[in-house]
Amino acid sequence: MSFHFSSINLGCSKNLVDLEFAIGEILKYSDRTPIEYIEDPEDPETDYVIVNTCGFLSSAREESEETLRHYDRLGKKLILMGCYVSVKDDNFLSSLKNLHSVVPFISYSTIESLLFGKKAGLDIDAVVRAKVAIKESKERKLSEYLGSIGGNQRGEKAFVWKGDEVRAYIHAPFGYEYLKIAEGCDNSCTFCIIPQIRGKQTSRKMEDIVKEVQVMLANGIREIQIIAQDTTRYGTDLYGEPRLFELLEKIEAIPGDFRYRLYYMYPDILTLEHIQKLKSFKKLLPYFDIPFQHSSEHILKRMGRHYDEAHVEAFLISIRENFPDAFIRTSFIIGFPGETDIDFQHLLDFVKRHSFESVGVFQYHDEPLAASSKLDEKVQDAVVNQRMKKLAKVLDEVYAKHTKDAQGKTFSGYIMNTDDKKVIIRREIQAPEVDEYDEVKISAIKSKELEIGKFVEYHL
Ligand code: SF4
Residue 117 — very low, low, confident or very high, per pLDDT cuts 50/70/90?
low
**pLDDT tens readout for residues 234-269:** 999 999 999 999 999 999 999 999 999 999 999 888
Output the CA 187–ligand 1 centroid distance in Å.
6
CA angle at 46 for the pair 41 and 48, rounded to the nearest 5°: 85
Q: Which atom of ligand 1 is nearest to the CA of 195?
A: 7
Residue whose CA is at the smallest distance from ligand 1 atom 1: 187
Could you tell me which of 81, 150, 92, 153 has the C-alpha nearest to residue 126? 92
> What are the φ/ψ torsions at residue 147 (nearest 5 degrees)?
-60, -45
Q: Range with the lowest mean pLDDT among 136-150, 215-229, 330-344? A: 136-150
- Its pTM stands at 0.89
3-115 homologous superfamily: Methylthiotransferase, N-terminal domain (3.40.50.12160)
Q: Is the pLDDT of residue 144 over 60?
A: no
Count other Cβ atoms within 10 Å, centred on residue 242. 19
- In this structure, the residues whose C-beta lies within 6 A of any atom of ligand 1 are 185, 187-189, 192, 194-195, 229-230, 266
CATH architecture, range 410-459: Beta Barrel (2.40)
Q: Which atom of ligand 1 is nearest to the CA of 264?
A: 4
Q: What is the pLDDT of residue 146?
A: 43
When the pLDDT of each residue in the chain is averaged and rounded to a whole number, the result is: 89
Q: What is the pLDDT of residue 347?
A: 98
Q: Measured in whole angstroms, how far is the alpha carbon of residue 408 from the centre of its chain?
A: 33
Domain ranges of the chain: 3-115, 410-459
Residue 136 — very low, low, confident or very high, per pLDDT cuts 50/70/90?
low
Residue whose CA is at the smallest distance from ligand 1 atom 2: 189
Q: What is the pLDDT of residue 166?
A: 85
**pLDDT more than 90, % of the chain:** 71
Q: Which atom of ligand 1 is nearest to the CA of 193?
A: 8
- Cα–Cα distances (Å) from 189 to 247, 282, 343, 390, in that order, read 26, 33, 18, 26
